[in-house]
Amino acid sequence: MPTDTHKITFTINGRKMERTISPSLLLIDLIREELSLKGTKPGCLEGECGACTVLINGDAISSCLYLAVNVNGKEITTIEGLSTDDRNAPFDPVQEAMIQHGGVQCGYCTPGMVMSIKAFQEHCEANRFVPGREEIKKAIEGNLCRCTGYTKIIDAVESLFEGE
């Protein structure tokens, strides 16, 4: 093995994997180019837009700023990992809420937005916290959407906590 490569093992969407990679490889390129998971979107590539958001050990991160070597031993979830094999309920509740509330227009921001909301939802549930609209706005402030004006996305997130 050349000295300028690293062997990493990680789990992605429930599948354990091993890869030998350059230390400068970005996580977004590992995901999109090497693993062909194209749901994670490139946007600004500068950590500003959130389009490339994925979960690492449950935390939302910008994969365009994250070196792939740092996923060694960790668990990655991309938008593809939220779908199920159930034909009657193929989507995660976050995806379903976004559809129901009209939070998706062109859809480019949607995978990253959904992953940030997912991390937020799990964090709130773990802490038995029901967020208000201001907390929801703060949770998604790193994800830019040029289409929706955010109101419908906030409605979608709010609906996840109804009845709690």
Q: Residue numbers of the site for ligand FES (CB under 6 A)?
A: 42-45, 47-52, 62, 64, 104-110, 145-148
The nearer residue to ligand FES, 62 or 121, going by C-beta atoms, is 62
CA atoms of 72 and 136, how far apart (whole Å): 31
The nearer residue to ligand FES, 43 or 81, going by C-beta atoms, is 43
What does DSSP assign to residue 67? Answer: B
**Least Å distance between CB 83 and ligand FES?**
19
The helix (H) or strand (E) run that includes residue 104 is none
Count of C-beta atoms within a 10 Å radius of residue 111: 24
Please identify which residue in the block is written with the tokens 């050990």: 57
CA atoms of 22 and 68, how far apart (whole Å): 9
**Least Å distance between CB 67 and ligand FES?**
13
**Least Å distance between CB 153 and ligand FES?**
8
CA atoms of 55 and 38, how far apart (whole Å): 15
The helix (H) or strand (E) run that includes residue 21 is strand 15-21
The nearer residue to ligand FES, 121 or 143, going by C-beta atoms, is 143
**Least Å distance between CB 65 and ligand FES?**
7
The nearer residue to ligand FES, 89 or 106, going by C-beta atoms, is 106
